[in-house]
């Protein structure tokens, strides 16, 4: 396991675990003393993969209530799913800033009317300049999930340009709590901690180090 004194908070990604052993994987997360679990929701359209739905989130909430449940919605129309995931026990929702502007505007307005913590997810190809054009919306949240791989599949290599993107984000949006997601192992986590990153999502690297 990683040393919590030398890395940001580790948030295990359930999608990286063996789907036939999710319960064992979640028990391993609890034993590791991690406080949060990351749940990737994919619709096969926004990203070229399909994962799981609100029923899995509900099962996690019921059997592992100690784990804070953050939901990464990689879907084309997140607003139509908000109610189901909130009812299932989601405690934080991430929506992608790359959505069509009218879809994003509706989703942000809807989230502000809900009693739910939320933030934006950002793909690697989305420039910091583009994010600045959404400054008014970004100011409405404290959380940003910065992807360090192209979303949709586990086992990808960490994109090293992420380090510079973190520095730029810190300069333009100092109020944000940054979480980095994708291809992160201990060396990347340690470097990100040096840059002031509060948390990282860790999938394959985490579950290889715990007894599931």
Active site residues per annotation: 40, 181
User: If DSSP codes are grouped into helix, strand and coil, which group holds residue 117?
Assistant: strand
Residues 6+ apart with CB under 8 A from 106: 79
Dihedral sign computed on CA atoms, order 86, 126, 49, 29: negative
Structure tokens at 34: 């991690």
3-state helix, strand, coil split of the chain in percent (to 5) is 40, 20, 40
71 DSSP 8-state letter: E
Backbone torsions φ then ψ of 42, nearest 5 degrees = -125, 135
Residues 6+ apart with CB under 8 A from 42: 49, 50, 51, 74, 75, 151, 152
């Amino acid at each position: 396991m990683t040393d919590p004194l030398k890395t940001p908070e580790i948030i295990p990604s359930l999608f990286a675990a063996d789907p036939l052993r999710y319960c064992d994987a979640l028990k391993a997360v609890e034993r590791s003393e991690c406080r949060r679990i990351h749940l990737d929701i994919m619709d096969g359209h926004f990203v070229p993969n399909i994962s799981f739905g609100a029923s899995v989130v509900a099962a996690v909430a019921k059997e592992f209530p100690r784990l804070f449940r953050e939901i990464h919605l990689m879907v084309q129309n997140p607003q139509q799913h908000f109610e189901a995931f909130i009812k299932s026990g989601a405690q934080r929702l991430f929506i992608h800033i790359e959505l069509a502007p009218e879809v994003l505007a509706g989703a942000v307005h809807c989230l502000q009317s809900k009693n739910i913590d939320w933030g934006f997810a950002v793909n690697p190809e989305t420039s910091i300049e583009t994010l600045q054009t959404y400054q008014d919306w970004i100011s409405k949240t404290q959380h940003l999930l910065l992807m360090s791989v192209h979303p949709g599949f586990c086992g990808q290599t960490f994109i090293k340009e992420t380090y510079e993107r973190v520095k730029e984000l810190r300069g333009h949006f100092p109020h944000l709590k940054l979480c980095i997601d994708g291809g992160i192992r201990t060396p990347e986590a340690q470097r990100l901690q040096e840059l002031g990153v509060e948390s990282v999502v860790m999938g394959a690297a985490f579950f290889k180090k715990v007894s599931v």
